[in-house]
Structure 1
Amino acid sequence: MTVVWSDAAVQGLLFLLAAGLLLALQSIPSRLRRRRSRASATSAQAHRHFITGAQLLSRARSTSPPSISLAKSALSHADLAISLSPRDAAPLILKALTLDLLGRRLPAIKSLDAALSPPLVNSLSDRERGDALFKRAELQLELNQRKTRRRIDGAVADLIEAVKLSPDNAKALAKLGECYEERGEVEEAQKSFEMAMEVDPANKVAKDGLKRVTRIREVE
C-alpha cells in the first residue's frame, strides 16, 4: 500500500508541476505585452520631454539676449529624456545644444561625444549624425581663442565625415575650408569654399574665405 501511495503521490506531484508549467507558459505572452507596454510608455514619456526641451530651447534662442531660464528648463527636460531613453542619441544632442547656449562648451562637447559613440550613434540618421559632427567641430574650434594644430585636426576629421554624410551642408563645407586655410592648405581650402558656394551662394563665410585664398594663390 505504501508503494502504491508513493507512486500516486509522485504522479500527483508531476501533474501539479505540469499544470503549473503550462500556466506559466501561457502567461509569458501577457508578461511580454505588459513589459512592451511599459517600454512604450517610457519611450513616449521620453519623447515628450525631448519635444518640450526642444521647444524651450527654440524659445530661449529667439529672445535677445537668449533666455537663460528657458535654456535651463530645456536642459532639465533633456536630462529627463536621457534618463528615460538612455539608448537614444537625440536627447544628448539637445543637451549639447542647450549647454552651448549657456556657454558651457566643454560639457557640450562631452555630450556630443556620448551621442556619437556606439551604440547610440546608430539611432541617428546620416543627416543628424552629420549635423552633430559639424557642431562638435565648431565647439572644438570655439573652446578657446588659441586654435592648436591638434584641435584643428580633430575638427577637420569631424567635418570631413560630416560632409560625407551631408554633402549639401554648406556650413560644414565652409568651416572645413577655414580649417584647411588655418593649416596652410590653400588649395584644399579653396575647393571647400567653392563647394560651399555651389550649395549656398549666399554663404558669407565661404564667400569671404574664397576671396582670401584666391588672393593668396594669386600672390603665389
Structure 2
Amino acid sequence: MGSFILQLIASVAGLCVVWFAQSMGKKFLGPPGDPAKRKAKARLHFSKAAQLLEKSHSSAGTPEAISLAKEADTEIDKAIALEPSDVSFHMLKSYALEQQGSLSGAIESLSAALSIDGADTVLTSPEMCDALFRRANLLLSTSKGRRNVDAAMSDLQRCIEISPQNPKILCKLGLCHEKNKSFADAERIYERVLLLDFKSQEARAGLKRLRP
C-alpha cells in the first residue's frame, strides 16, 4: 500500500513538472504559430541584419564588407521566412545583395517588395519614389539592351508623378532617352532640368553630349 502511494505521488509530481514546463514555454516562447511571437522574432533578425549592413557600408571596399553583407543577407532571409509579406524585409535584402555585387538579385528583391499587396500604402510617397529610383538605377547599371532601359523609364516616370520637379530623376530619364536614341526628348528634359537648377552638371553634360 505504501509503495502504491509513493508511486502515485511520483506520477502526480511528474505530471505537475510537465504541466509547469508547458505553461512556462507558452508564456515565454508562445505557441509555434503565435503571430505576435513570430513577428517579434522576425524583427530581431531584421534589426541584426540592419546592423550588419551598416557595418558593411562603413567598411566598404574591404573583404570584410562582403562578409558582413552576406551575414546580413542570411539574417534577413530568416526574417523573410517568418514574415514574407513585410515590405521592409525585402527592401533591406536588396541593399544586402547590392552590397555583395549581385545587382540582378537586388532588382528581384526590390521588385518583390514593390509587388506585395499594400506596398503603396506601407511606403510613403518619398519612400516609394526612392525605391523606384533605386530600381531604375540598378536596371541601367545592368542594362545590355532596350528592355532594361524601358523598365527603368517606367519606374522613373512613376517617380516623376510623385516628384515632378526633381532634377535628379529628370536627368536619369533624359539618360534613358539618350540610350534609346530619342535625342530630342533627352534634350528637352535636360533643358527642363536647367530651368529648375541652372547649376546641374548632369544636365549640362547631357546637353554637351547631344550638342558636341
TM-score over 0.5 for the alignment?
A: yes
CA distance in 1: counterparts of 2:208 and 2:182, whole angstroms: 15
The equivalent residue for 2:186 is 189
* Residues 49-64 of structure 1 mapped to structure 2, 5 A cutoff: 49-64=45-60
CA change 1:115–1:210 in 2 (3 A) is same
1:134 aligns with 2:130: no
Corresponding residue for residue 203 of structure 2: 206
- Counterpart in the other structure of 2:151: 154
Q: Which amino acid aligns with 1:102?
A: Q
Counterpart of 2:39?
43
Q: Which amino acid aligns with 1:183?
A: N
Aligned residue pair count: 179
Amino acid at match of 1:125: T
Q: 1:106 aligns with which of 93, 100, 104?
A: 104
TM-score (norm 1): 0.68
Decide whether the 8 Å contact of 1:46 with 1:81 is kept in 2: yes
Is there any run of 5+ residues in structure 2 with no aligned partner, and where?
A: 1-29
Q: C-alpha offsets along residues 106-133 of structure 1, whole Å, 9 cap, x if unaligned? A: 2222112211114152332222222222
Distance 1:49 1:172, change over 3 A: farther
**C-alpha displacement at 1:200, in angstroms?**
6.3
User: For 1:211 and 1:195, how far apart are their aligned partners in 2?
Assistant: 15
Alignment of 1:176 with 2:164, yes or no, is: no
Partner of 2:115, secondary structure, is coil
The residue aligned with 1:26 is none
Task: Select between 58-67 and 192-201 the one with higher mean Cα deviation.
Answer: 192-201
Deviation at 1:157, TM superposition (A): 0.7
C-alpha contact (below 8 Å) 1:42/1:84 kept by paired residues = yes
User: 2:101 is paired with a residue of what secondary structure?
Assistant: coil
**1:19-38, CA deviations, whole angstroms, 9 ceiling, x for partnerless residues?**
xxxxxxxxxxxxxxx99xx4
Q: 1:174 to 1:44 in 2, by over 3 A?
A: farther
- Give the 3 Å change call, closer, same or farther, for CA 64–162 of structure 1 in structure 2: same
